[in-house]
Amino acid sequence: MATIDDLKKISDVVWELPASHKEGMRVPARIVGTEKLVREMDEAVYQQISNVATLPGVTRYALCMPDGHSGYGFPIGGVAAMDVNEGGVISPGGIGFDINCGMRLVVTSLTHDDVRPHLHEIIDRLYECVPAGVGTHGFLKLSRQDFRNLVQQGARWCIEHDYGWDNDLEVTEENGCISGADASKISERAVERGYNQVGTLGSGNHYLEVQVARPEDVRDKELAEKFGITIPNQVVVMFHCGSRGFGHQVATDYLQTFLKVMQPKYGIKILDRELACAPFESGEGQDYFAAMKCGLNMSFANRQVILHRIREVFSEVFGRSAEDLGMQMIYDVSHNTARLEKHAVDGKEKALLVHRKGATRAFGPGHDEVAARYREIGQPVIIGGSMETGSYLLAGTTSGAETFFSTAHGSGRTMSRTKARKQWHGKQLQRDLEARGIYVRSTSWAGLAEEAGAAYKDIDEVIAATELAGISKPVVRFTPIGNVKG
């Protein structure tokens, strides 16, 4: 098992396991982070990211972001770009079970003073209107065929059914619908698990949070204003969720398929069965890619319906329309995906399948993938912290090319959920948070304990590492005042 002593220090925030570290590594494995963050990472991260570096087609480096911790196959925070013209593979372990788990950020024209007297009512109503927890069902009553249509159309389906505004799509990755999703490639079991979950938050580290942009936490005033943060102590709403049981089942189905065909059919040997994969250009690889895209679209739709419900709650509480309350989206960003992208490698443009598991796209100014509204300034990046600390809005940078324009997605855990449950009690934690001005509703005390702030890395340290590495630029830090937890 590798330790930090095996890492070569490339810079203050880049550490490397050379390709000679382990038999079969095709490229070096790099970890982005301050020495403090890297020392805090569980040693399984080194094992996993070096295993990723053995996969066919992996290009330049296998990467782990500053919030990295061990996951299934890939570490969470793992990034790997596969050359699809050189036998590159696609691996569900490099995308995650919660396909297109992501973040959405919405501004309001309200200030903390406006919201404070109504905070309990807002959080209580959000808790009622956005179902959270394991196995919860949404208010949408869809047939299985409706759901199949939805996973091919994504957030566009929602807009066409009056669950949102046209301009929401302009600031959603892929305009809320990635092309090539094919519902014939998903199982009946996956449909069964997903068709009644649209508009639900889920459990674990998923949350819906009301936050404040304090004047002293605006890092770049000009960029903040261009993103919509324009008034002191402005209230925003941020939420984090994905494709629920549907995405989990899609990943499970294709992991089983890949395990059956990987070695006998394609001669691929891997160091960890959790990295089960298939050549991207193979029939199985293309089927999974089309099914995975259904997971992306389901998640875009899920977050779109949740936004609709949030707007309804604020409108009800304040007796004004959501338009009048200025409830415009800043952005919707994904962090469990694989995308076909063009990147320069050794001076040549290559078609790469970029796996980002617990890692966020962070394209810089002028990049074609950035929404037209933000193209001159760079893509908005949303990195969530714990419910006790804070979260960030950042911007992508030109120098992010070094990590295939990828950055962190959150704080990253420092301990297991089991250990957190033993260390904190949810009910006491809720009382402590409320004493500090943060009102939390959760579906379970155990689930709340798992998400204690001290179970996560220091969000400010993670953000500092991304800035020092030149892969994203902090714009605003948000402070939580109210939270709905799954």
Helix (H, G, I), strand (E, B) or coil at 6: helix
Please choose, from the candidates 12, 3, 2, the residue with its C-alpha nearest in 3D space to the C-alpha of residue 66.
12
- Tell me if residue 367 is catalytic: no
* Residue 416 to residues 214, 390, 410, Cα–Cα distance (Å): 32, 21, 16
* Residue 1 to residues 5, 48, 68, 269, Cα–Cα distance (Å): 11, 10, 17, 20
Task: Bin 233: left if φ > 0, else alpha if -120 < ψ < 50, else beta.
Answer: left
Contacts (Cβ under 8 Å, ≥6 apart) of 33: 13, 15, 41, 64, 65, 66, 68, 462, 465
Q: Which of 112, 343, 409, 425 is catalytic?
A: 409
Pairing state of beta strands 473-485 and 439-442? parallel
How far apart CA 121 and CA 374 sit, in angstroms, is 34
Please choose, from the candidates 99, 176, 194, the residue with its C-alpha nearest in 3D space to the C-alpha of residue 138.
194
- Is residue 232 classed exposed, middle or buried when 0-12, 13-18 and 19+ CB atoms within 10 A define those classes? middle
Q: Which two tokens stand for residue 23?
A: 């038999």
DSSP conformation class of 98: S
How far apart CA 178 and CA 340 sit, in angstroms, is 11
* Residue 408 to residues 53, 77, 309, 438, Cα–Cα distance (Å): 19, 6, 28, 25
Give one DSSP letter per residue of 287-314, joined into a string. HHHHHHHHHHHHHHHHHHHHHHHHHHHH
Specify which residues 104 forms β-bridges with: 239, 332
Q: What is the distance, to the nearest Å, from the Cα of residue 386 to the centroid of all Cα atoms in its chain?
A: 14
Specify which residues 352 forms β-bridges with: 83, 341
Element (H, E) at 211: strand 207-213
* Residue 198 to residues 52, 147, 305, 309, 477, Cα–Cα distance (Å): 33, 9, 7, 12, 29
How far apart CA 92 and CA 99 sit, in angstroms, is 9
Q: Could you give the residue numbers annotated as active site?
A: 409
